[in-house]
Amino acid sequence: MSNYALSHLDHLESEAIFILRETAAQFENPVLLFSGGKDSIVMAHLAYKAFAPAKIPFALMHVDTGHNFPETMVFRDDFVAQIGARLVVASVQKSIDEGRVKEETGANASRNGLQTVTLLDAIEDNQFDAALGGGRRDEEKARAKERFFSHRDDFGQWDPKNQRPELWNIFNGRKQHGEHFRVFPLSNWTEMDVWQYIKKENIALPHIYFSHEREVFERNGALLAVTDFVTVQEHEVVEKRIVRFRTIGDATCTGAVESEAADLDAVIQEVAAARQTERGTRADDKRSETAMEDRKKEGYF
């Protein structure tokens, strides 16, 4: 008798692929939210495996703030071409130009929160009825409240106190006209699981995730990179440091960490010893104690 045993990564992969296939079966027009960050890259990789040898049966959508790290954009376009997927780009700049949102001003201005309107408009314009996201419960307390299939009303809003029960692997995707679902196949993964899976599957990532020399400055406890989208104040000191990023988002609010981790093994060791949460460098989460939950209730990712 053969010894057939699954690792914890095999279990997580199997669960995520089941949810991806269940989403394709229950919804008419799902879309996979793709930022070029490690979680959405793993999601796209899982979707590719879930439906191979056929192509991924839904589009990838990037909500583009226009304030992205250039390395991420180059990687995004190369990755999408490599897997033969269809990419939908929803532009925050377009939302600003149309008067749908008002750009923030001041030293700490960011387009991160403006993405909500652009996202909801794109979901409605394209008639998407499910948006697959790479959110994980270990990232942030508001994300820990999400179900695998998370209902959104016809205004795109989320009510964490009124979610449908999920018993075993029974997912309820029933909805009224105009409503949609957010689906989170990586809910049970941790940051460490993601990195170990990336190593196991030999998945390519933007090099911004690995240590490199970069011009940075400190602001409100975060180490921000010098980009065209951030104005360095007179009292702020720009210096070159060896850094990497644990998350990738809008360049105006995504902080770096000082790190010598230049490859996957070193990153995994660093994550195992980390005392700060993955999103601890994100200025957008520090605007208030409930910043993420407030954004999610309005329709954020």
Q: Report the distance separating Cα 25 and Cα 6, nearest Å.
A: 26
Domain of 97 in residue numbering reads as 8-195+289-298
Whether 181 and 94 share a structural domain: yes
Percent of the chain scoring above 70 in pLDDT:
96
Q: Is the pLDDT of residue 176 over 70?
A: yes
Whether 180 and 279 share a structural domain: no
Peptide bond connecting 53 to the previous residue in cis, omega within 30 degrees of 0: yes
Whether 67 and 169 share a structural domain: yes
Whether 182 and 68 share a structural domain: yes
Q: What is the pLDDT of residues 276-290, one digit of tens each?
A: 877 666 666 666 667
- Three-class SS of the chain: CCCCCCCHHHHHHHHHHHHHHHHHHHCCCEEEECCCCHHHHHHHHHHHHHHCCCCCCCEEEEEECCCCCHHHHHHHHHHHHHHCCCEEEEEHHHHHHCCCCCCCCCCCCCCCCCHHHHHHHHHHHCCCCEEECCCCCCCCCCHHHCCCEEEECCCCCCCCCCCCCCCCCCCCCCCCCCCEEEECCCCCCCHHHHHHHHHHHCCCCCHHHCCEEEEEEEECCEEEECCCCCCCCCCCCCEEEEEECCCCCCCCCECEEECCCCCHHHHHHHHHHCCCCHHHHEHHHHCCCCHHHHHHHHCCC
Structure tokens at 195: 């990195």
Asked if residue 1 is part of any domain, the answer here is no
CATH of the domain at 126: 3.40.50.620
Q: Which residue has the tokens 């914890």?
A: 8
Whether 14 and 108 share a structural domain: yes
Q: What is the pLDDT of residues 142-153, one digit of tens each?
A: 888 899 999 999
Whether 141 and 19 share a structural domain: yes
How many domains does the chain fold into? 2
Whether 160 and 234 share a structural domain: no
pLDDT tier, 107 (very low <50, low <70, confident <90, very high otherwise): confident
Q: How many CB atoms lie within 10 A of CB 165?
A: 7
Q: What is the pLDDT of residues 81-91, one digit of tens each?
A: 999 999 999 99
Asked if residue 221 is part of any domain, the answer here is yes
Q: How many CB atoms lie within 10 A of CB 74?
A: 13
Whether 88 and 190 share a structural domain: yes
The pLDDT of residue 1: 61
Whether 56 and 152 share a structural domain: yes
Q: What is the pLDDT of residues 31-72, one digit of tens each?
A: 999 999 999 999 999 999 999 999 999 999 999 999 999 999
Whether 213 and 170 share a structural domain: no
Asked if residue 2 is part of any domain, the answer here is no
Whether 188 and 224 share a structural domain: no
Q: Are 222 and 171 in contact (CB under 8 A)?
A: no
Asked if residue 201 is part of any domain, the answer here is no
Whether 177 and 72 share a structural domain: yes
